[in-house]
Amino acid sequence: MAASTTTSTTCAYHPGRPATLRCNRCEKPICAKCAVLTPVGYRCKECVRGQQKIFETAQWYDLAIAFVVSAVAAGLGSLVVSFVGFFIFLVAPSIGVGTAEIVRRAVRRRRSRYLPLVAGIGAAAGITPQVLGPLVLVGFGLLSGGALQTLAGGLVAIIYPAAYAFLMIAALVASLRGIRL
C-alpha cells in the first residue's frame, strides 16, 4: 500500500498562509481571504478584475453624454407630464424607460457601472426646475400672507412633479442596470 503524501502550498498573494483553494481560471493557489466566489467557482482577485474590465466598455465622455441626454429628456418629459394629471403614474415610468433607451443609443451601448447613477443624477437635474417652481411659489405666497390656502395649493402642485421625478428616475436607473420593466 502506497503512503499518500500531501504537499503544502502557500497562497500566491500571502506567502505565509496555506492555500486551501485554487483559482478555477489560472490555477493559482489562493487562501480563503483571497478567494472570490463567482457563479462558476472560486477565482483569484486578479482574474476577477480582468473579467470586470471586459464589461467596462464606456469611455470617459460617455458619462457626460449620459448626464446631458438624461437631463434634457427628463426636463422635456416633465413639461409634457404637467398636462396629464393623474395619469402621471402610468406615463412617468414609460418616460424613464424611453430615456434609458435614448441614453443607451447616445453612448453606443457601451457599459459602465456608473452609467445608471450618472443618468439618474442628470435626470434629477433636468426635473429640478419643475419641482422647485411650485416650492418657490409657495414660499412667496407664505411671505405675502396667504398662509393656509397657499400652503394647501402648493402641496397639491408639488405632488405630481415629485411623483414624476421618483417614478421616472427609478425606471431610468433600473432599466440602465439591466432590470427589465
Mean pLDDT taken over the chain: 84
Confidence category of residue 96, pLDDT binned at 50, 70, 90: very high
Are both 90 and 47 inside the same structural domain?
A: no
Judgement on whether residues 79 and 135 belong to the same structural domain of the protein: yes
Residue 2 lies in a domain: no
- Is residue 12 assigned to a domain? no
- Scanning the chain, the segments in alpha helix (DSSP H) are 45-55, 60-81, 88-106, 115-144, 147-176
Q: What is the pLDDT of residues 67-95, one digit of tens each?
A: 999 999 999 998 887 788 778 889 999 99
Q: Is the pLDDT of residue 46 over 70?
A: yes
- Strand pairing partners for 38? 41
115 and 169 in a single domain? The answer is yes
The answer on 83 and 50 residing in a single domain is no
What percent of the chain is modeled with pLDDT above 70?
82
Whether residues 50 and 64 share a domain: the answer is no
Q: What is the pLDDT, as a whole number, of residue 2?
A: 47
Region of 85 (left: φ > 0; alpha: ψ -120 to 50; beta: rest) is left
pLDDT digits 0-9 by tens, 110-167: 888 899 999 999 999 999 988 787 777 777 766 666 656 666 666 767 788 888 999 9
Single-letter residue type at 142: L
Q: Per the structure, how many domains does the chain have?
A: 2
* Structural domain span for residue 121: 60-176
Q: Identify whether residues 45 and 81 lie together within a single domain.
A: no
Residues 108 and 127 in one domain: yes
